[in-house]
Chains A and B, each alone.
Chain A
């Protein structure tokens, strides 16, 4: 089955700086790569996603890049703000329909 690895597990940045989270996946058939943000005590919330026919996608301060040859994708957050502090999960669909999640990154934005 699909295996998704995510790094780093924790990330601290100064407010206004950029944050980058990286994930790799194992199943070359994977074609959908969403990113979720989870705040304490809440369910994961979809923040951006990318499909395998696209290399990059941007939504305001958030961007995702995908390299299918290398089987990795990354989340980029620019101009970070304290409210960006949360746990971020990457995920991928393999040959099965369900999403396989990475282990998460605790992002802390320091004021």
Chain B
């Protein structure tokens, strides 16, 4: 079991470019969550998805950010027209069916906008 796989580990984008972050959940997990962590800060919830469904996107900025979890393939967090303030570590986690199942986190994607 490879755990939660995120790629790339590091991503550098120029201002105005698009960033695509990928997350493959643990085998058997059907719930995916994205969190953002600014330097020396906590984990802020962004979005919760199941296959082909966005369950809760209350933490997503209203513009430029989108997420999907297609029937086949990894979950994708997309940031359009990146700005310097988007520089952060983005973590994906997955969990099983129960609401009290623990999350398993990936190693994160560290996005740097130059």
* A contact residues vs B (CB 8 Å cutoff): 1, 31-32, 34, 36, 42-46, 49, 51, 89, 93, 96-104
Q: Judging by beta carbons under 8 Å apart, are B45 and A99 in contact?
A: yes
Q: Are B100 and A96 in contact (CB under 8 A)?
A: no
The size class of the interface chain B forms with chain A is: 20 to 34
A109 to B104, CA, bound (A): 26
Q: Collect the chain A residues with CB atoms within 8 Å of residue B58's CB.
A: 1
- Interface of B toward A, CB cutoff 8 Å: 4, 31, 33, 35, 41-45, 48, 55-56, 58, 91, 99-100, 102-108
Chain A: minimal CB distance from B37 (Å): 9
> In chain B, what residue has the closest Cβ to A102?
B42
Does the CB pair B48–A98 fall under 8 Å? Answer: yes
Minimum CB–CB distance from B77 to chain A (whole Å) comes to 15
Q: With the chains together, A29 CA to B42 CA distance in Å?
A: 22
Given A43-B91, A44-B91, A98-B33, verify A89-B103 contact (CB < 8 Å).
no
Known contacts A43-B4, A43-B105; 13 further A-B pairs (Cβ under 8 A): A32-B99, A42-B108, A43-B108, A51-B100, A89-B42, A93-B99, A96-B56, A98-B45, A99-B103, A101-B43, A102-B42, A103-B41, A104-B41
For B42, what are the chain A residues with a Cβ–Cβ distance below 8 Å? 89, 101-104
Is there contact, CB below 8 Å, between B48 and A97?
Answer: yes
Residues of B within 8 Å of A96, CB to CB, are 48, 56
State whether A46 touches B102 (Cβ < 8 A).
yes
> Do residues A89 and B100 form an inter-chain contact, with CB atoms below 8 A?
no
Nearest 3 interchain pairs by C-beta: A43-B105, A32-B100, A103-B42
Chain B residues in 8 Å Cβ range of A43: 4, 91, 105-108
